[in-house]
Structure 1
Amino acid sequence: MYRTEALHFLQGCVSVCGFVPDELVDGDGNKDNTKVIIPETVTIDGTTYTVKGVDIEGSDVYPTITTIKLSSKVDRFRLYNPFYTVKFTDESGNEIKYYDHSKGVVNLPNLQYFDVDSKNTSLSEWHNQILLSKDGSKLICCPPAAKFTNVVFKGIKSFGPYAFFGCGLTKLVIPASLETIDETAFCGFSGLTEFLNADYYKPGSATINEKFVAKDGLLFEMRKDDADKYTKYKSLLCFPDNKNTGSKLTYSLDGGGSLLNIAPYAFDDVKGTQKLNISNCAGFGISINKYAFQNSSISFVDLGSTFVNRIGSYAFANTGLVRLDLGTHKYNGGKQCNIEGNAFYNSSIKQIVWPTNNPHEYMSIRLEDYAMANCPSLLHVYFPKYTSNPGAVLTPLGKYAFYNCPSLEEVSFIGATPSAGNYGVLPEGLFKDCKGLKNVKFDDNKITEIGDFAFSNCNLQGWVFNKQSASLKKIGKYAFAPTDGGISNNFNTTFTLAGFSALTTIGDGAFMWCKISTSDINFYTATGGSASVLKTIGAFAFNGNTFKTITIPEGVTEIGKFAFQGNHTLETINLPKTLVKFEWADERHPQNFRAYGNNYEEYFFRFGCRNLSRIVLRNGANYEASDHGLLYDKRTMELIHCPENYKNTTKVGYQDMNVKGLVVENEVKGIKSLGPYCFDNSLMEIVVLPTTLQKIGAGAFRHAAVKSLTIPAKVTSVGSFLLGGGSTTAANIDLFMMPLKAPTITSVPNNAGELNYLGISCNLYVKKTSYEKNYYGEDWTKDMKYYGYKIPIPITEKNRFFSICRDFDAEFGGTNLGAFIIKEYNKGNPNSVKGTSLDCYVPSRIGKKQDKYVGAIVQLYKVKGDKTYVEDGNWYRIGERDFSYKTQEKKADILGSEGEKNWLVGCPIPTYVNKVETKYALKYKKELGVSRFAQYISNGVVPMNKAYLDLAKHPYGGSSAAKELSLVFEEESETTGIEDSPIVDVDAQQNVDRSPYYTLNGTKVDRPTAKGIYIHNGKKIVIR
């Protein structure tokens, strides 16, 4: 198998990357499963390539191969598979490569011989067994099945990269000529028991290698002393993986008073040792370099009085290390212990004992980025108490220093630094994904900043920063938040920010899903009411908690999207006047929208505040809240949010009764647009939008409980996902469109691109002209339950009357229906009122400000058999003229310029009506049937789109209270001279004197119970 070369100067070349057994041939083309011949060229798909290298990557085992023959063109050879390294992206978005050499072995267990073409200018072999450079100075590959043991490689000056990878030699002699050893030369060396010096047969021989010395079977690199002699230990280069350490599996390493380093890969794959004691090293400390102990079985390392200057990346990766003791020290001068990233990656470490020192000296500990990260068994971290030593400190901590230590339960910084200290910044991701972390302890007022993701996916059992109130200045994004599916911190009732006088910034998602159950969240406010230093509260900051009230202090200028949503116990939000920028939601489609802490990690958040009833903000710089809590932008007149559990009534003293309806113009005048998800999750069943409205943002009524919605005539664009989707969504929503031509449905961005969709199938009603001229295209009409202009009504010959009030004009022309208002008593009789025809057109609202809603009574005016009866004509439609009744003069003549002539009060939303003293107020009673009215005394709610009869403002000059009331309709020819009265519920007129009824045969009845003609107060009454 071949791979083309990537480098530009190797164009037209390939390298061998694996073997296919069926293709193993000898030089004569005969199959030979013991020998592989690497040709000079190879033709692939008609193109001829030069074979320049052998970089074996295959993981299959080829036990039959004993010989590899290399052509004159091959200039490199390697038996290590670099693609078995671990690659991952760290939390900062950087690609990390972890070279786990134990997993990169190429399986050629019986490879013993090399045969290199004599014309090859780069490679040669020694006794057909060892692959060397052409001049013989560099050992390139000692094959896995090499049989010699005590051979001295004369003339060899260097061991190249992975020179002994997979080699099975038990002993290795270090030649006197050796000058350099690549740090990976002994990686993957399997079965080695000892190193030997070249002169081990001849003690004192001049052929000894002075720079690389074997001692007790270990290989050391030496350094020169003051006399320029190699007498001091520089580095332990290799500890044989199969060294015999006795029954106790313990080895004591004596550094000879001069050892400086444990070299990279020195203990790589060591399996025969469990405990290591290191002593007598250089006085100024030792460095444990990268990969030094990776994949070893060593469980305990005790450095005693040996100070560790440095522990390199992956130094103890994948080891069985359980405990590391960094010792107690006495020395003069400053010292610092640096621990590099992922030093203990996936090890078994449970405890690390930090270095301590003579209190009068100086020492510091530095944890670099990812220093203790990915330690699945680490339980506790207790930093030394340096409080008595002003020079000994814990230096600034690295990012993600304890990342992904799921067993870590407690960390204590108490006493770790004197005075102000240097660890005041808890950096990005410090304890992220420490899912078992329940407690962290600090000295009082030491922490100035909590970095992004610092405690994300932790299990803190309380707000552990109460004693940092004077010092904490910044809380980073998602500092305490769980990722999607992660674990939450539990701040319960311990959470408060009331005393945090230095806090300036709360980042995005900082307290998402932290189980905050404090009733009220308050922030620091200086004595005298001066502005807080807190300026910014990020998006999602408090999303998904369970508090009831949050009061943002004066001084805050910016609050991000979804900051308070997901708190379904939240009732009140108090906002400051200083607020300059506030976002309730995001334009994106919520089902495809996540809060992203970085480019690839999601933080799940919740929408809405189901119990929110009030937002409070008065005289704000840019924003204002209405009397009942609707928040809007004063500059653009955009309605930002209406509380989901908005509560209001039409009468003072009953504001806490939720009538589940809202007329926006009664709260805020002049609204031009609805912000994204403005009424999302609203519990209101009807919202009357303002006539000034021009634009509706995405998801404006998503998950809302609206049963009916009218889009005003001036609206030109409607955001996608206007309606539907939630558990509160009505089953059969009516959508009424006043714009003659269809508004544009604006798309919203989502993860897959752009979405353009209304959101739910409903009943779509448009003006007759719009329907006939097809002004509403497929974007609006596709998948609708109904599309047209005929609005059905619940009317029959049995129940021929119902009241109406709509937020659009209602037109009855061409139907069987007639519409009436009531504006006077019939013939001056206070017991009877008269219906006046509206000529089949009921304007929704009148008045100079178009804010007076018209109530009317609709009558089934034509029945089957009448000459003008219309088959299937019991419906009405949206009026074409938008809040007008022919002419202003005609409207004023019939209704009055402000509607004052009409005694019917229209209720476009559920309307609360309280007790009146005159006993003249009559209310439509739904439970008695659509055509029934009765005297109304007790408090109650008039349903939406209905009207009630109010006589309180229209008394009949000094007359006594009406005992009963009849309704007469002017144009009903069949009952001329007879009052047509769908009255009753006489029992509701509790204390009103009543006259009896008589049938036509003279029988007295207290109350009519059947249809017919009755005599009442000397007049004929028809009961239908």
Structure 2
Amino acid sequence: MSNKTFIKLLSAVIMMSACMCMTSCDDPNPSESDKPSSPEWENILAFNIVDGEAEVRCVSDTVAEVKIPSEVTIDGATYPVTTIAQEGFSNLPKLKALYIPVSINKIKREAFKETDIESLYIESLESWCDISLDYDYYYDSVERRLVNSHSPIRFNTTLYVKGVPVYDLVIPGTVKDISDGSFYGLNCRSVTFPKGVESIGVASFGGCENLTEIRFPDSLREIKLSAFENCKKLSEVDFGNGVKSIFLHAFKGCEKLVSVTLPESLTYVGVNSFDFNTKEYHIKDADWWCQLKRPEWFVLVGGAPLFSMYPDNEDEYPHSLYIGGKEVTDIVIPGSLSKITADTFRGNTALRSVTIGEGITDVGKNAFRNCPGLKDVTFPSTLRTMGWQAFQDSGIEDLHIPPCGLDSIPQWAFYGCTRLKSIEITEPVSYIGMMAFADCVSLTKIVLPKTLSGSEGVIVLDGCICLNEIYVQALTPPNLDFGLPDNLYDNIKVYIPSGTLDAYKESLKWSRFKLFIETDIDNDKSF
């Protein structure tokens, strides 16, 4: 709707003696008796009629207090006021108090951008929990916090329900779903959820920086994206025993939340659901933890995964697992699980040894990434697949992959394992992915199987500055790009099968090595 149309609509006499705008007063939270009756004001509010309902915006940048009417009469016709227009109350630095009637059920994008409401008056918490509110954030460089530009609520906003200020929020018992962004940034000390609530919406309580403790009823099923993000004083959460899903960033930025006990009902946990400072995860058992579903965040290009959307900072969320109050350092994963899902133990700083039980076929992406204390890993003969970066930046010292169904080592699988000294890869591995063993700076020896054919030209050993022995069982030189420093090629001993010297010397990729040693691979115990 153009400004001309709004101005034309304003020419109609708007009868709202109890719903008009008032000038600012000394008391930022006036009582009902102190509020003066509103005269008839023009050029304050404008209305756009869509499908028999009115959409409202403020067209004055001088008012300090606005009361939105529940209905408006234009040209003799009366319309319910149901929507706050896009940018409808944006860039109003003097507006500090706002009255929103129950009739409002939708607030459009950037409705309150650059407008700081100090006092928000509503008539019903139940209807506010159901409001349709876009959520989006911008960074306020003065306040140094994220702000939802679509909501009238800011960090310093006090909510009034029927004229009574709310600092301890009690959600009505009739509410089942709390809408997205509904209380984002609210100045409240506590929130009480009713037994019937089932879903907490996206960013619904994010930025409520005075919240210290939350208890959820057993009826709760899901906590959505960023629901409590940046609740900086939140130190205790009781999840009850009904929550099934905790989504991405649900408790990110909750700096005081150092320990959480996850309910047995949980089946899905999102990437970075908790903060860097959440160090302790108390869980039912290791089997349960391994079966939790976790998202695999990848950008698809031409139908193929290009890169992970998981944050690249490998030190981002270091933590430990606790079972029965005891920190888990050594773990046996039973084969009955068949797979270890992506990110299952990522960032676990307490793990020292892992035995992957017979029956496990798949180790997911990032499953043991950045486990710096993880020295020993025992692989099963049933292993078939391994995900990208599965053991990147872990503390493995000696790697032995036994004969199994694994035919490839994925890219970045053991990248940055700085304590890794020796690698033994067995059949039927035929392919080694990009940078699979790069920056393994302590690596001195690697044994490659007969079945290895190559790496399709990608670098696999970049930064392995201590490497001095390569044992190759393949009769045909594998197509490998090593990526080693130039000065190492003259000194590394390369053990190859008897009768293959000419083939290796003539190979473009292997000809850079100078110290070839032919040996009987069937009887040489070094293989």
Q: 1:808 is paired with a residue of what secondary structure?
A: strand
1:276/1:301 contact within 8 Å kept:
yes
List aligned pairs for 1:493-512, cutoff 5 A: 493-496=280-283, 498=285, 501=288, 504-508=292-296
From the CA coordinates, give the structure whose radius of gyration is larger: 1
**Mapped pair 1:489 → 2:280:** no
Alignment of 1:41-52 (within 5 A): none
CA displacement at 1:499 relative to structure 2:
7.5
- Contact kept, 8 Å, 1:265 with 1:293, in 2: the verdict is no
* CA-CA distance at 1:473 after TM superposition: 1.0
Distance 2:111 2:135 in 1: 8
Secondary structure of the structure 1 residue equivalent to 2:90: coil
Contact between 2:404 and 2:427, CA under 8 Å: does it hold in 1? no
Quote how far apart the aligned CAs of 1:402 are. 5.3
Whole-angstrom CA distance in 2 between matches of 1:521 and 1:253: 69
2:443 to 678, 684, 692: 684
Match of 1:547 among 344, 347, 350: 350
1:366: Cα distance to partner? 4.8
Question: 1:564, CA displacement in angstroms?
Answer: 1.2
CA distance in 2 between partners of 1:254 and 1:713 (Å)? 90
The yes-or-no answer on 1:322 pairing with 2:79 is no
Structure-1 separation of matches of 2:379 and 2:158 = 48
Determine if contact 1:496/1:522 at 8 Å carries over to the other structure: no
Asked if 2 retains the 8 angstrom alpha-carbon contact of 1:435 and 1:457, the reply is yes
Alignment of 1:213 with 2:6, yes or no, is: no
The answer as to 2:413 corresponding to 1:612 is: no
1:803-832 deviation line (CA, Å, top 9, x unaligned):
xxxx723xxxxxxxxxxxxxxxxxxxxxxx
Q: What corresponds to 2:58 in structure 1?
A: 267
| Residue 404 of structure 2, aligned match among 614, 634, 654 | 634
**Long gaps (5+) in structure 1:** 1-159, 164-181, 188-194, 198-208, 217-232, 388-392, 481-487, 587-605, 615-628, 648-659, 741-765, 782-786, 792-806, 810-843, 853-907, 910-1024
Matches within 5 A, 1:843-858: 844-845=519-520, 849-851=522-524
Distance 1:553 1:570, change over 3 A: closer
How do 1:928-947 residues align onto structure 2 when only pairs under 5 Å count?
none
**Secondary structure at the counterpart of residue 243 of structure 2:** coil
Of residues 119, 130, 135, the one that matches 1:342 is 135
Aligned residue in 1 for 2:191:
383
Aligned match for 1:426, one of 223, 229, 238: 223
The amino acid of 1:808's aligned partner reads I
2: CA distance, partners of 1:401 / 1:674: 48
Matched ranges for 1:385-464 at <5 A:
385-387=193-195, 393-394=196-197, 396-401=199-204, 405=207, 408=209, 410=211, 413-414=214-215, 420-421=218-219, 423-431=220-228, 434=230, 436=232, 438-439=234-235, 441-456=237-252, 459=255, 461-464=257-260
Q: Distance in 2 between matches of 1:454 and 1:724?
A: 43
Deviation at 1:425, TM superposition (A): 0.9
- Please give the alpha-carbon distance, in whole angstroms, between the structure 2 residues aligned to 1:255 and 1:364: 37
d(CA) in 1 for partners of 2:360, 2:38 = 63
Deviation at 1:474, TM superposition (A): 0.9
Asked if structure 1 preserves the Cα contact closer than 8 Å seen for 2:384 and 2:405, the reply is no
Partner AA of 2:430 in structure 1: S
TM-score by length of 2: 0.64
Q: CA RMSD of the aligned region, Å?
A: 5.3
Post-superposition offset of 1:543: 3.4
Conserved in 1, the CA contact under 8 Å of 2:346 and 2:366? Answer: yes
C-alpha contact (below 8 Å) 2:269/2:293 kept by paired residues: yes
2:494/2:517 contact within 8 Å kept: no
Per-residue deviation at 1:851? Answer: 1.9
Code of the residue aligned with 2:454 in structure 1: it is K
Cα distance change on mapping 1:453 and 1:316 into 2, 3 Å: same
**Residue of structure 1 equivalent to 2:175:** 364
Three-state SS of the structure 1 residue aligned to 2:201 is coil
Asked if 1 retains the 8 angstrom alpha-carbon contact of 2:401 and 2:426, the reply is no
Task: Report 1:584-663 matches (<5 A).
Answer: 585=389, 607-609=392-394, 611-613=395-397, 630-632=400-402, 634-636=404-406, 660=421
Aligned pair partner of 2:454 in 695, 712, 720 = 695
User: SS where residue 194 of structure 2 aligns?
Assistant: coil
- In structure 1, the residue matched to 2:273 is 479
Q: Percent identity?
A: 12
Residue 673 (1) aligns with residue 430 (2): yes
CA contact (8 A) 2:471 2:496 kept: no
Cα distance in 2 between the residues matched to 1:426 and 1:360? 16
Provide the rounded CA distance (Å) in 2 between the counterparts of 1:672 and 1:353: 63
> Structure 1's 286 and 447: CA in aligned 2 closer, same or farther, altered over 3 A?
farther
Quote how far apart the aligned CAs of 1:472 are.
0.7
- Give the direction of change, closer, same or farther, for the CA distance of 1:310–1:687 in structure 2 (3 Å limit): same
Q: 2-side partners of 1:535 and 1:691: how far apart?
A: 27
Q: Give yes or no for contact 1:309–1:336 (8 Å, CA) kept in 2.
A: no
Contact persistence 1:498–1:524 (CA under 8 A): no
In the alignment, which of 306, 316, 327 is matched to residue 513 of structure 1? 316
Letter in 2 for 1:270: D
| Partner Cα distance (1:500, 1:409) in 2 | 36
Cα deviation digits, residues 33-65 of structure 1 (max 9, x gap): xxxxxxxxxxxxxxxxxxxxxxxxxxxxxxxxx
Q: Does the 8 Å CA contact 1:685/1:707 hold for their aligned counterparts?
A: yes
**For the residues of structure 2 that align with 1:577 and 1:536, how far apart are their CA atoms?**
15
> Does the CA-based 8 Å contact 1:500-1:524 persist in structure 2?
no
One-letter amino acid matched to 1:383: V
Structure 1 position 685, deviation (Å): 1.5
- Contact conserved, 2:84 with 2:104, CA < 8 A, in 1? no
Query: Partner amino acid for 1:492?
Result: K
Distance in 2, matches of 1:723 and 1:707, equals: 14
For residues 946-984 of structure 1, the C-alpha deviation after alignment (integer angstroms, 9 at most, x for no partner) is xxxxxxxxxxxxxxxxxxxxxxxxxxxxxxxxxxxxxxx
Contact 2:55 2:82 in 1 (8 A): no
Paired position in structure 1 for 2:84: 289
Q: Secondary structure at the match of 2:14?
A: strand
Q: Could you tell me which amino acid in structure 1 is paired with residue 255 of structure 2?
A: N
* Pairing 1:848-887 to 2, within 5 Å after superposition: 849-851=522-524
Query: Structure 2 CA distance, aligned partners of 1:469 and 1:268?
Result: 50
Write the deviation string for residues 750-782 of structure 1: whole angstroms up to 9, x where unpaired.
xxxxxxxxxxxxxxxx967876xxx455x777x
Q: CA deviation at 1:737?
A: 6.5
Q: Distance in 1 between matches of 2:328 and 2:190?
A: 35
The answer to whether the 8 Å contact 1:686/1:708 transfers is yes
Deviation, 1:213, is: 2.5
1:311-358, CA deviations, whole angstroms, 9 ceiling, x for partnerless residues? 5124433211134354568x9xx996414113973464434648699x
> CA distance change for structure 1 residues 322 and 535 in 2, over 3 Å: closer, same or farther?
farther
Q: 3-state DSSP class of the match of 2:131?
A: strand
Q: Which amino acid aligns with 1:489?
A: F
- 1:707 corresponding residue in structure 2: 468
Tell me which amino acid in the other structure corresponds to 1:706.
Answer: L
- Separation in structure 1 between the aligned mates of residue 39 and residue 284 of structure 2, nearest angstrom: 54
State how 1:889-900 maps to structure 2 within 5 Å.
none
How many aligned residue pairs are there? Answer: 451
1:497-521 deviations in Å (ceiling 9; x for gaps): 5288595413345997322145526
Structure 1 residues 59-74: aligned runs within 5 Å: none
Instruction: Choose between structure 1 and 2 for higher RCO, CA contacts under 8 A separated by at least 6 residues.
Output: 2
From 536, 561, 572, the counterpart of 2:376: 572
Distance change in 2, residues 1:512/1:161 (3 Å): same
User: What secondary structure sits across from 2:276 in the alignment?
Assistant: coil
